[in-house]
Amino acid sequence: MPTTTYSTKTIQKIREPAYYGVKTEKNHKRAKSVPWVDVSDDDEKSKRNSLKRKNSIVNGNADHSRNGQNGHKNKKRRSSIQNGDTPQSKDLANSPGSSQSKRGHINGSGPSTPHTAKFKAVQEQRKQLPIAKGREALIEEINKNNVTILLGETGSGKTTQVPQYILESGLARNGMIAVTQPRKVAATSLAQRVAVEQNVSLGDLVGYAVRFDEKSSAQTRIKYLTDGMIVRELMSDPLLSNYSVIIVDEAHERTLRTDLLIANLKKIQAKRNPKTDPKGKGNADTSNPLKIVIMSATLDAEKFSKFYHNAKILYVKGRQHPVKIYHSAESQLDYTDAAMRTFFQIHTDQPPGDVLIFLPGQEDIESLQKSIELYAKQLPSDKSEVLTCTMFAAQEHSQNNKAFSPTPPNTRKCILATNIAETSITIPGIKYVIDTGKCKEKQYLARISGGGFDTLLTRDITKSSAMQRAGRAGREGTGACFRLYTEDAFNTMAVSGEPEILRCSLTSSILNLKCLGQNLEELDLMDKPDLDSMADLKPVASALKTLWLLGAIDNHQKLTPSGRQMALFPLEPQYACAVVASKEYGCTSEVLDIVSVLSASSKLFIDISEQRDAVTEARRKFRHPSGDHLTVLNAVKAYRDIAASENKHSRREWCRKHFLNERTFLEARDIREQLVVTCGRIGIDVSVSAKENEDLVIRSMGHGLAGNSAFLQADGTYKQTMGQTIVKVHPGSSLCDKKVPAIIYDDLMYTNQIYARGVSSIPKSFFLSLDAFKQRKA
């Protein structure tokens, strides 16, 4: 436990002005290299900005008068908006009444009645958003153009308001409006907020869809979904014909799925909208045209515009609340320690308001959480309480959502998050952001031989991320962002990151594209991954090799029937392959148990390094001699028995005693239910069980993990079967002290060594039975 002297001294030190070179956002905005923060009302500055001259600002009067293409000069054309429910005829303040007709389905329990104080306050808040002034012009532009690029500062109201404006204006006709988000937590929390603004129950007029969780109905007109979900929808509806408008939000993040979506949307428009048919043959189906809106706060708008045949770029001027930015005067070597000191500085010096700390990953989050909780206990009794919450991708969804709960009285909430909280979301109560300037990024280490893997590397964030992070502080009022890096360091940051498509595994995406009859190589992408499939270490070649090993594609790279089945599962192709293979082996029940746990967002086995002996002892009873997959199965079976006979409290206690994460069991149960539905669709009987014959389960898993396999060498190390890499069994694995002739593993972790995690022993002879291995040998 740290002494008071240390904490007081340090806090006093960082309280001195020299620690933070106070730079307000206004000063910061003047840096020419950061055009995307230039949203001041300084007209001269606007004139200097060439992007702005070429395009339209939809909510700034000065620019309306300058640009004849938008705003009030085109009132006549607005009447062409379909449904006759024109935006200019509608006052936003009256929207409760006007949208009431669309909510005949409202049930009495969820939303408040339109006249409650809360509802009025929310509507008043909507009216104050910067985007509200540009509503008419915005709708008019979206109506005129098939593709609109919308750039607006963070907090201006893009994500929550634009879909509602489109709905209320009738632009979506009878179709749905999709709003894509790179992250689950954003999709669900935004849907929740917009449901409140529309005064409906979540899942009615406003819904969401994320992997393994959906709240929507036949009434849903605005649907927030992850980019991954909409790419999956392409498989059942290649023209996305249920949607009239697709809003690709946070497009600057350039996730793999967003890039695939953007490419497919271009194709879809060519079919659904006559004017964008490049051949002009007029063969497009005109009855259901599609509108696309690309949105972000920090977008390379011109690049997107060029991609979509010089689409119109619109700007939303201004943010709702100012955020004061502080850079540290010196570089901080230990960012977790600096974050902690800054937190306590805020806690002791600053007015009430919750704090959001951005850290690179789970380990840093957990260690800082412990330290903050420890120090908080030593605070004088006149200080308010500290409540910590965590948010990271590997944490269960409902746990992440706790950050959105109201802060109890006389308490300051401190949320420790990775970049999953960086874009899009509003966490009520947040007034202060502490930005360590670090994040973890997926990087694919490709192997032409098929054994490539994604790994997470810690690196400096980009300017675009820094801006988004700061933006989280100004959502409900003025805020402050403390950057734990110097202004010089900020100035040397890259403007934006490398698109994910250039740096992550393409296996799952290529499989999905194959189902659509598309080859990644032929797709019109904004940035193409390295396509030289003959060269070594190329992600496309590596992904094709993996799919071939799984039997998802044949020697001519054509999708096989089992490949088509694998693509139906919302799983990594490796696990989908194991499920498909389990039919033949007669062990589907067990394989579903295992892959459901492996696909959950958090790990089942809780590892506490200080209690490693106790953990090993408690888990001994589940431990299976063949390794981790059957150990997971044993734990699932044991939990199922407990759940059948014990109450909630006893179940929880049992999990705690065995260092098992009960939330993982519960999430896995839901995932399993969804997998059962998919199995039903393709005729796999989920009740078939291997019973005592557990070898069959390992063989099924082996089909999926054949590319993740290694043979024992004479010197006692394991060498990949599909590559030259030497891998070690992770110390957390039940096989870590054993030497077996051959192993399969779930993934590789790259530290100073390459560790295999989720390891099982498999007979070497198994590989001889695999077609891919036979062919490879031949």
Positions touching Mg ion (CB under 5 A) are: 158-159, 424
The answer to whether 475 contacts ligand ATP (rule: CB under 6 A) is: yes
Q: At what angle do helices 256-272 and 507-515 cross, to 10 degrees?
A: 20
Least spacing, CB of residue 153 vs ligand ATP, in Å = 7
State the alpha helices, DSSP H only, in 361-404. 362-377, 397-401
The DSSP code sequence of 578-641 is: HHHHHHHHT-HHHHHHHHHHHTSSS-SB---GGGHHHHHHHHGGG--TTBHHHHHHHHHHHHHH
State how beta strands 726-729 and 742-750 pair: unpaired
Stretch that binds ligand ATP, among 147-155, 232-240, 394-402, 637-645 (CB under 6 A): 147-155
Size of interface with ligand ATP, in residues (CB under 6 A): 20
> What residues from 280 to 309 belong to the interface with ligand ATP (CB under 6 A)?
297
Our CB check for Mg ion shows the closer of 427 and 729 to be: 427
Least spacing, CB of residue 483 vs ligand ATP, in Å = 17
CB-CB contact of 758 with 572 (8 Å): no
Our CB check for Mg ion shows the closer of 151 and 701 to be: 151
Least spacing, CB of residue 297 vs ligand ATP, in Å = 4
The answer to whether 428 contacts ligand ATP (rule: CB under 6 A) is: yes
Residue carrying the six token digits 């790179």: 182
Our CB check for Mg ion shows the closer of 38 and 153 to be: 153
Q: 152 contacts which partner out of Mg ion, ligand ATP, none, CB within 5 to 8 A by kind?
A: ligand ATP
607 — phi, psi (to 5°)?
-105, 120
- And the tokens for 154? 């963070």
Element (H, E) at 490: helix 487-492
Our CB check for ligand ATP shows the closer of 159 and 626 to be: 159
Stretch that binds ligand ATP, among 133-141, 421-429, 478-486, 761-769 (CB under 6 A): 421-429
Element (H, E) at 505: none
Select from 476, 584, 653, 695 the one that contacts ligand ATP (CB under 6 A): 476
- And the tokens for 107? 């049930």
Q: 155 contacts which partner out of ligand ATP, Mg ion, none, CB within 5 to 8 A by kind?
A: ligand ATP
Stretch that binds ligand ATP, among 65-73, 418-426, 622-630, 657-665 (CB under 6 A): 418-426
CA nearest 336: which of 242, 216, 458, 194? 458
Q: Which residues of 219-229 are buried (b: 16+ CB within 10 A; e: fewer)?
A: bbbbbbbbbbb
- And the tokens for 136? 């008419």
Q: 570 contacts which partner out of Mg ion, ligand ATP, none, CB within 5 to 8 A by kind?
A: none
Our CB check for ligand ATP shows the closer of 159 and 465 to be: 159
Least spacing, CB of residue 421 vs Mg ion, in Å = 13
Least spacing, CB of residue 141 vs Mg ion, in Å = 18
The answer to whether 59 contacts ligand ATP (rule: CB under 6 A) is: no
CB-CB contact of 311 with 305 (8 Å): yes
**Residues 161-180, mask of contacts with ligand ATP (x by CB under 6 A):** x-------------------
> What residues from 672 to 701 belong to the interface with ligand ATP (CB under 6 A)?
none
Our CB check for ligand ATP shows the closer of 191 and 706 to be: 191
DSSP state of 130: G
CA 633 to chain centre: 29
Stretch that binds ligand ATP, among 156-164, 274-282, 412-420, 550-558 (CB under 6 A): 156-164
The answer to whether 318 contacts ligand ATP (rule: CB under 6 A) is: no
Stretch that binds ligand ATP, among 153-161, 529-537, 707-715, 751-759 (CB under 6 A): 153-161
Q: At what angle do helices 561-568 and 573-585 cross, to 10 degrees?
A: 120
- Side-chain half-sphere CA neighbours of 634 within 13 A: 18
DSSP state of 530: P
148 — phi, psi (to 5°)?
-130, 135
Least spacing, CB of residue 117 vs Mg ion, in Å = 27
Select from 11, 34, 129, 338 the one that contacts ligand ATP (CB under 6 A): 129
CB-CB contact of 243 with 177 (8 Å): yes
Our CB check for ligand ATP shows the closer of 158 and 624 to be: 158
The answer to whether 653 contacts ligand ATP (rule: CB under 6 A) is: no
Select from 143, 342, 424, 496 the one that contacts ligand ATP (CB under 6 A): 424
SS3 148: strand
- And the tokens for 761? 């022993």
From CA 729, how far away is CA 727, in angstroms rounded?
7
State the alpha helices, DSSP H only, in 288-334. 301-307
Select from 64, 158, 663, 703 the one that contacts ligand ATP (CB under 6 A): 158
The answer to whether 159 contacts ligand ATP (rule: CB under 6 A) is: yes
Least spacing, CB of residue 249 vs Mg ion, in Å = 6
CB-CB contact of 482 with 353 (8 Å): no
Least spacing, CB of residue 315 vs ligand ATP, in Å = 12
Least spacing, CB of residue 71 vs Mg ion, in Å = 23
Q: 428 contacts which partner out of ligand ATP, Mg ion, none, CB within 5 to 8 A by kind?
A: ligand ATP
Q: 471 contacts which partner out of Mg ion, ligand ATP, none, CB within 5 to 8 A by kind?
A: ligand ATP
From CA 304, how far away is CA 306, in angstroms rounded?
5
Q: 160 contacts which partner out of ligand ATP, Mg ion, none, CB within 5 to 8 A by kind?
A: ligand ATP
Stretch that binds ligand ATP, among 44-52, 56-64, 159-167, 668-676 (CB under 6 A): 159-167
Our CB check for Mg ion shows the closer of 162 and 754 to be: 162
The answer to whether 198 contacts ligand ATP (rule: CB under 6 A) is: no
Q: 183 contacts which partner out of Mg ion, ligand ATP, none, CB within 5 to 8 A by kind?
A: none
Q: At what angle do helices 573-585 and 539-549 cross, to 10 degrees?
A: 10
Please name the amino acid found at residue 155.
G
The answer to whether 471 contacts ligand ATP (rule: CB under 6 A) is: yes
Q: Which residues pair with 406 in a beta bridge?
A: none
**Residues 240-279, mask of contacts with ligand ATP (x by CB under 6 A):** ----------------------------------------
Q: At what angle do helices 695-704 and 628-645 cross, to 10 degrees?
A: 120
Least spacing, CB of residue 319 vs ligand ATP, in Å = 8
Select from 56, 86, 146, 156 the one that contacts ligand ATP (CB under 6 A): 156
The answer to whether 155 contacts ligand ATP (rule: CB under 6 A) is: yes
CB-CB contact of 594 with 629 (8 Å): yes
Residue carrying the six token digits 């200097």: 48
State how beta strands 206-210 and 213-215 pair: antiparallel
- And the tokens for 74? 């085109």
From CA 271, how far away is CA 279, in angstroms rounded?
11
CA nearest 356: which of 440, 442, 441, 420? 420
From CA 224, how far away is CA 186, in angstroms rounded?
9
Our CB check for ligand ATP shows the closer of 255 and 508 to be: 255
Least spacing, CB of residue 534 vs Mg ion, in Å = 42
From CA 355, how far away is CA 341, in angstroms rounded?
13
Closest residue by beta carbon to Mg ion = 159
From CA 748, how far away is CA 68, in angstroms rounded?
57
Least spacing, CB of residue 98 vs ligand ATP, in Å = 20
Select from 60, 71, 96, 157 the one that contacts ligand ATP (CB under 6 A): 157
The answer to whether 720 contacts ligand ATP (rule: CB under 6 A) is: no
From CA 591, how far away is CA 316, in angstroms rounded?
51
The answer to whether 725 contacts ligand ATP (rule: CB under 6 A) is: no
Our CB check for ligand ATP shows the closer of 255 and 345 to be: 255
- Contacts with ligand ATP by CB under 6 A lie at 129, 152, 154-161, 193, 297, 320, 423-424, 426, 428, 471, 475-476
